[in-house]
């Protein structure tokens, strides 16, 4: 029997590793290339959708509504708040009632913070507090209500006025009294507005002083947390402005506040003791203001121009991000939930992007009460007379 010859074949390990490395490199290059193509494609589609304009829409869903006279609408935590002199309803886009609160008010005013809403009777004495689950508490004041603010845990601040003096009271979400303060006109000025931070721990008050024939507004900051306990009357900052009025103050975020004046808007920032972050000078008289948690908007009259109005938008750093002329007469201008800008009157509406592009403009046969954006770039909720429409622009 013949012996079999065996031969040992040695593998070139180095050569094999180089081949594996080249193969992996090719795969990595392919993955990166495909990813870049997908990202560029997605960016192109996004840019196209952001710059596209629409003039028509299709109705995806329609729900009939019955509204009492003088009904108002507001976007509320992904739902619709419908309120009037007789009561308030939280409804979804199908007009299904989530909760309701009955009352009798002459002039209902509201404030919304996340999932809490406070409804007060302006110049009256009643405040109702609600959240996603429904009514939480009720407040009856001793003096006429001027302003109401609610925080994201249900704390309510009420500014009242009687015989020229201002009074501030704080309540929890169940309507239990927490604290109060008094503002004497002869010492501090006439209260114009209040604002409460999202967490309910900070408050700002705008006071107009007209003593001696000179106008001065003082912006006063209060802190109800530990830092404010060491200060007189919890006051942690005051800023005075001569020859100016600041009729509106608002916390844009929990730590950023804006004071809207007739000649300038001042942005304050600070988690404990707010400081001036930016002053935005108004070159013309301000016709309207609108804002959300990321932007501030202003409308000015346009003189000697084909367009009647000029709209400017700033970010919270005070930097201008958009300027746009338009001629549409309007009853309301506001930011939608997706940061687009909605301008509407009774039978006409226009939607602008932050790029200044008029995304949609149309006239309606029925009165328009509210436009609400959704999570989809082309889908909106149109609240029109007697109907709630879920639509898609096309």
Binned average pLDDT, 10 residues per bin, the chain of 394 residues = 52 67 75 72 60 89 90 94 96 93 96 96 97 96 95 96 84 94 69 94 92 86 88 90 95 97 95 94 93 97 87 97 96 96 97 96 93 94 95 94
Calculate the average pLDDT of the chain: 89
What's the rounded Cα separation, in Å, for the pair 299 and 309?
7
Structure confidence at residue 272 (pLDDT): 87
Residue 169 Ramachandran class (φ > 0 left, ψ -120 to 50 alpha, else beta): beta
Residues contacting residue 51 through CB under 8 Å, at least 6 positions apart: 353, 355, 357
User: Residue 63: which H helix or E strand, with range?
Assistant: strand 57-64
Instruction: Look at the chain and count its residues.
Output: 394
pLDDT in tens, 106-129: 999 999 999 999 999 999 999 999
User: What's the alpha-carbon Rg for the chain, to the nearest Å?
Assistant: 28
pTM: 0.84
Structure confidence at residue 185 (pLDDT): 57
Cβ 219 vs Cβ 204: under 8 Å: yes
Structure confidence at residue 46 (pLDDT): 60
pLDDT in tens, 261-273: 998 999 999 988 9
Cβ 352 vs Cβ 364: under 8 Å: no
What's the rounded Cα separation, in Å, for the pair 305 and 282?
18
> Which two tokens mark 105?
């008010």
Structure confidence at residue 184 (pLDDT): 61
| Burial (CB count <10 Å: 0-12, 13-18, 19+), residue 148 | buried
Structure confidence at residue 1 (pLDDT): 47
DSSP state of 21: H
């Amino acid at each position: 029997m013949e012996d079999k010859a065996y031969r040992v074949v040695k593998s070139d390990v180095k050569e094999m590793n180089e081949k594996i490395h080249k193969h992996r490199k090719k795969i990595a290059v392919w993955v990166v290339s495909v990813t870049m193509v997908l990202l560029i494609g997605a960016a192109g589609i996004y840019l196209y959708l952001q710059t596209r304009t629409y003039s028509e829409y299709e109705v995806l869903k329609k729900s009939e509504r019955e509204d009492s006279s003088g009904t108002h609408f507001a976007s509320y935590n992904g739902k619709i708040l419908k309120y009037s002199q007789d009561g308030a309803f939280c409804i979804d886009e199908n007009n299904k009632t989530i909760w309701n609160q009955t009352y009798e008010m002459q002039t209902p005013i509201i404030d919304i913070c996340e999932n809490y809403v406070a409804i007060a009777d302006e110049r009256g004495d009643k405040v109702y507090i609600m959240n996603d689950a429904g009514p939480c508490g009720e407040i009856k004041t001793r003096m006429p209500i001027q302003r109401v603010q609610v925080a994201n845990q249900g704390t309510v601040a009420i500014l009242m006025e009687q015989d020229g003096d201002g009074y501030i009271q704080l309540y929890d979400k169940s309507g239990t009294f927490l604290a109060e303060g008094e503002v004497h006109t002869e010492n501090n000025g006439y209260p114009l507005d209040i604002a409460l931070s999202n967490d309910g721990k900070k408050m700002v008050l705008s006071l107009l002083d007209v003593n001696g024939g000179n106008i001065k507004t003082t912006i006063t900051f209060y802190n109800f947390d530990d830092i404010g306990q060491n200060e007189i009357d919890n006051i942690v900052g005051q800023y005075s402005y001569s020859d100016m009025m600041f009729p509106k103050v608002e916390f844009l975020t929990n730590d950023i506040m804006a004071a809207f004046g007739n000649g300038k808007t001042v942005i304050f920032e600070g988690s404990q003791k707010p400081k001036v972050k930016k002053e935005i000078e108004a070159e013309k008289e301000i016709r309207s203001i609108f804002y959300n948690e990321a932007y501030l908007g202003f409308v000015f009259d346009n003189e000697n121009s084909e367009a009647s109005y000029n709209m400017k938008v700033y970010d919270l750093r005070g930097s201008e991000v958009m300027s746009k002329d338009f001629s549409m007469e309007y009853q309301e201008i506001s930011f939608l939930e997706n940061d687009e800008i909605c301008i509407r009157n009774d039978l006409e509406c226009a939607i602008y992007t932050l790029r200044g592009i008029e995304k949609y403009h149309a006239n309606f046969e029925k009165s328009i009460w509210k436009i609400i954006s959704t999570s989809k770039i082309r889908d909106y909720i149109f609240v029109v007379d007697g109907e709630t429409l879920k639509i898609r622009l096309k």
